[in-house]
Structure 1
């Protein structure tokens, strides 16, 4: 949960830290204090700018693929969200059917201070469907941005819930892979050995099938019959596995690139990251200007 919370609110938390540093500079009332705060602000801003810029480039520059024809690797998909399996997922606070939820319950400690007393989020997968096929969306380590946010008060408690709803139009960017007949690694010898070892665990059943003379042991001919039967079973399993439909999955890239799931439009996401890119750049140059001015100013 901490990963997704940190990622979704990274820009806001960064801006909050910059404001705190600005406030600290006023409170310190010294040239060295201001230089320290402004230097930290500049460092935070440049790191936040790089993070927002990488997200902007990923959203803008990655072409949209169709599920059925998507290449293996880093892709961008769009489609409708569907629940995975028969049982619907119900959100924690409102008990509404959804694909994913996050909730937070806070207690009012004072007029403007709230303390979180309970929080959490779902971690199950769901399906993404376009007009060519379906794909499993593995939520682990995903950055989630949703427009569905409900908040209400009840006495001294404040309840907040975020959701992705079934049939939402979704934007997903991440690592795409396909499991199916084309990616199967089937070693006939190993499978045969494993099956015979499994049969040997139940010797009475093995003798009942292949001990033709009922003498309590399997001679060479009877053992060859058992091996032939095992080969046929392995061949049958291989054919069934190769006939099974391909399973498409999109998940967190191993190289740490953006894994984003959102019910916002791609253009809205681009504008969001473009805003933060410029905001952090302006703060960075503002902090540099402040450092330059402080270096030319005598101590307070």
Structure 2
């Protein structure tokens, strides 16, 4: 990626500030305080957004696939494809693990045409020195290492992609599937099964009321409990036969989900600079607002 493309991708959120003075010059009928007030609000909102991302990146320790705990974590390694047909970018045919592509008219056509946007949500692997983590990129804020655009007749084509072997940073929610569940998981699943049975008393009586008196005696309830114990045990033995895999995905609690080709330190530094750039723009817009009053 060229330096210009990297700056465009990282600092694209600063472009709206450049339009405010142009709009103020072109649209004299607007209230004089409207545009600077909008710039102040935009700057504060985006400062909060990027500073929150920066704090999550800076405060979350980097883990490995072997030591990864369930929950919110960050990982760093290199990108690799899953088994199966290779993934390629739709216009340029570049081999990758993720892409985002756009076809848009160049503005010279006689008739307006809609832009076409394509994005891959296929899972891919993050490899580190201890193993692998499956990354499910849907919903992530992604900074790709590779980017290009070119003209194709009356269209402008652009693509961003993560290539196989690229450095890969990911911050999100980790879930492990398969493997031998621990004792606490067995106790939790046993209690969950019994609670579900209790929610259907008629079915529970049909299965375990051996003397037909309409209630479960202590012996009948123990029989029900042993039956649930056996069912949970069979389910856990089936899970133990499935190889353990780790999956990183979008957090359910709206915490940032970030994928980048930069190291954890560089990702944190870039977000910190971006946050304070928006804070500076908010300050300049505030000074403009006070002078226009």
TM bucket by the smaller chain? 0.7 to 0.9
Once the 2 structures are TM-superposed, how far is the Cα of residue 16 of structure 1 from its aligned partner?
3.2
- The two structures, once aligned, show a CA RMSD in angstroms of 3.1
> 2-side partners of 1:121 and 1:18: how far apart?
28
> Can you give the 5+ residue segments of structure 1 that lack an aligned partner in the other structure?
1-7, 191-230, 296-300
Residue 19 of structure 1: aligned partner: 18
Structure 1 residue 232: Cα displacement: 9.8
**Residue aligned with 1:174, SS:** strand
Q: Distance in 1 between matches of 2:159 and 2:10?
A: 19
Deviation at 1:238, TM superposition (A): 4.4
Identify the residue that residue 274 of structure 2 maps to in structure 1: 276
Deviation for aligned residue 1:124: 0.8
Per-residue CA shift, 1:205-226, capped at 9, x if unaligned?
xxxxxxxxxxxxxxxxxxxxxx
- Of 247, 250, 255 in structure 2, the residue corresponding to residue 249 of structure 1 is 247
Once the two structures are superposed, residues 2-47 of structure 1 have per-residue CA deviations (whole angstroms, 9 ceiling, x without a partner) of: xxxxxx97962x43333333222233447x7221111111011000
Distance 2:107 2:81 in 1: 38
Mapped partners of 1:254, 1:234: distance in 2: 27
For structure 2, the residue ranges without an aligned partner over 5 or more in a row are 1-7, 194-228
- Tell me the alpha carbon deviations over residues 118-153 of structure 1, each in whole angstroms, 9 at most, x when there is no partner: 220111101112121221111111111112112222
CA distance in 1, matches of 2:59, 2:230: 50
In 1, Cα distance between the equivalents of 2:33 and 2:269? Answer: 33
**1:96–1:285: structure 2 CA closer, same or farther, 3 Å change rule?**
closer
Partner of 1:37: 35
Residue number in structure 2 paired with 1:60: 58
Please report how far the alpha carbon of residue 234 of structure 1 lies from its aligned counterpart in structure 2 after TM superposition.
9.0
The equivalent residue for 2:127 is 129
After superposition, the Cα gap between the structure-2 partners of 1:233 and 1:278, relative to the gap in structure 1 and judged at 3 Å, is closer
Instruction: Classify the secondary structure of the residue corresponding to 2:107.
Output: strand
Contact 2:89-2:161 within 8 A present in 1 as well = yes
CA–CA separation in structure 2 for the residues paired with 1:36 and 1:233: 66
User: Is contact 1:104–1:116 with CA below 8 Å preserved after alignment?
Assistant: no
| Pairing of 1:212-223 with structure 2 (within 5 A) | none
In the alignment, which residue of structure 2 is the partner of 1:167? 165
Specify the structure having the higher radius of gyration (Cα). 1
TM-score, scaled to structure 2? 0.73
**Cα–Cα, structure 1 residues 235 and 269, in superposed 2: closer, same or farther, change >3 Å?**
closer
**Is the Cα contact below 8 Å between 1:73 and 1:176 reproduced in 2?**
yes
> Are the structure 2 counterparts of residues 236 and 72 from structure 1 closer, same or farther at C-alpha, using a change threshold of 3 Å?
closer
Contact 2:76 2:264 in 1 (8 A): no
> Using a 3 Å threshold, how does the CA distance of structure 1 residues 26 and 269 change in structure 2: closer, same or farther?
same
Change (3 A) 1:34 1:84: same
Give the 3-state SS of the residue equivalent to 1:71 in structure 2: coil
Map 1:65-76 → 2, pairs under 5 A: 65-76=63-74
Residue 289 (structure 1) aligned to one of 277, 287, 290: 287
Q: State the shift of 1:158 in Å.
A: 1.9
Note the C-alpha offset of 1:243. 3.6
